[in-house]
Structure 1
Amino acid sequence: MNPRVIAAAWGLPVTVAFVLVPLAVRDRLPDPMATHWGNGGRVDGSMSFSGFVAMGLLLWGVPWLALLVGSGWAHARREGRMFWWGTLGFMSVFAPGVSLSTLVANLDVPVWTAAHLTAWHVIATLAGSAAAAVAAGYLARGEPGQPPSADARPPRLRLREGERTVWVSRVTNPWPAAVAAAAGGGVGVLVVLRFLGSGAGAVLGVTLPALVIVLLLGLLSASVAVRVSGDGVAIGFGPFGWPARRIRLRKIDVALSETRHPSQVGGWGFRGLPGSATIMLRGGECLIIRYRSGGQLAISIDDASRGASLINALIAERVEQ
């Protein structure tokens, strides 16, 4: 059956339940309701009844609609299928679990400040969500993607005897770069505030490290560069190409070029499953490196076909020597 039909048939009654279940116990709930708890299970935030219902619908409805829209591309590959069904399984337990736990905590209490959320509610919701994600992803994994036939392999470059050729390509995603720039600006502001002796020392002490981490992660995931030469394949991250990962030619079986999209591999960034890792900064042409050990690495990079051709030529040259 079409996965989009299954998700729609499952998601519609879940969406309705997010409205009908709270309405069924409306007269047993305080208004406003407790909706956030801090350390020790102490309530520290509230929301109106209508706001609580709207929050639940958003928590469930946004990812559900996103899964419906992206179901076509996601099911083209095993990684995408596992991520798609795993996400649906996770949200099908997590979102109702959060809503139900909040309702139970508020049930029959006189005021929202008296609501208490037990640790078991949190543990059960998280454990059930994780179990549902693993089970759904595993059961819906299907058959692994079929490797391209020999005819589909990119042409091998003809290298003259003694000729040394190098291929270099880079791809950039502007969104992580923008996030890094915003975090860098925030770091600059906080440094100035600290230099001026601002009284918000506690806030600065917590926020500054978090912004530095976001800055570093944004820089590392904003761009990737690939260099192919007789020494192997070098993959550099960030604007300075560091850190770098190097793959020796003796470890590579074959290189290919394929078109892949984030929805097929589980999203943007550094994605991975056992034996299959992906560096996905943008959808489109990807360089596929298949190892002699059986695993593979996919990298979204421009001019991937030419890079794969050079890798295959260098491997053949190494075998012939």
Structure 2
Amino acid sequence: MKDHADREGPADHKEHQGREDREGHAAGRATAWGAAAWASGVGILLVAMPQAARGRLPDRLATHWGVGGAPDGSLPLGAAASLPALAWVLLVSAVALAARRGAGVQGWAGATLLSVGVGLIGAQAVIVRANLDRSDWHQARSATLWFGVLIAGIVAAALLGVLLDRRVTASAPPVPVIPGDPAPEIPEGERFVWLSRATNPWFQLLAAAGGLVAVAGALAGAAGLIGAPWPLIAPFAFVSVVMSACSSVQARATEKGLEVGFGPLGWPTRRWAAGDIESARVERRTPAQVGGWGYRLSGLGTTVMLRRGDCLVIRARGKDFAVSVDDAARAAALLNSSRART
């Protein structure tokens, strides 16, 4: 089967191209801000952890352990704090330079920055913990078990970076539309795909701040700087996860129905089959009308409100669901046409 082709005039093409450019710029800004926050947070933690425990550490820190688990290498406290941070700055600079030159770094940049960042701050936490309350670096605790846990964390971070990169760089197939026709006819046996995203930068900022505090608490606990870290980790981790899930949304309409995915990974996902959608329309809604930002329940039904303005609204199973995304009119027309064909 083939995708139904667009039929657009020059003005329609310019409008469509302008919308794609705006979406691309918005996604690029969100990615850049996320990378900047991660780069800054990792650099700060690498320097701050040894400095925060300076009074409980020896002048030289054990930084390498032999096969038997005994320390066999050390660095001065200042070097142990500054060298990992310097290596991190060089790596981030190299990735940023390659991205600016268009060297095709999108396929590996996210996985590299996440995994190396986790590795560096995790290793710093392990080193601080092993040397804590020791008068000489030769007396440092064994770190074999903790480094094993760290390796697992690095692998998990690399996989997460790959998944995030695929979500960000995935491109949508052509969207079929006949300008001026509210319900374009879709020939039998042909397919269509419509895709639109929306993000809320303030939710992303709250998610990043909560995640940074949770990570700092986990590292402080792993390094032995504080007691039980869970009272600090749990609430901020919860805020980070919830804000991350509410910070972005992706809507996808096909001949099979509508899918709406939440968060950077597009999960959780809500789905409606084409036969369950009674109608689709566009409405202008504001946060005041639906009770605020995010995932809202009100007299208007369920609304995913990330920005004020046009929303795609479907009536399915006797209830209304709305999501604030660009190009909602096109999605409504396609869903109505698909329903009529079904």
TM-score by length of 2: 0.46
TM-score by length of 1: 0.49
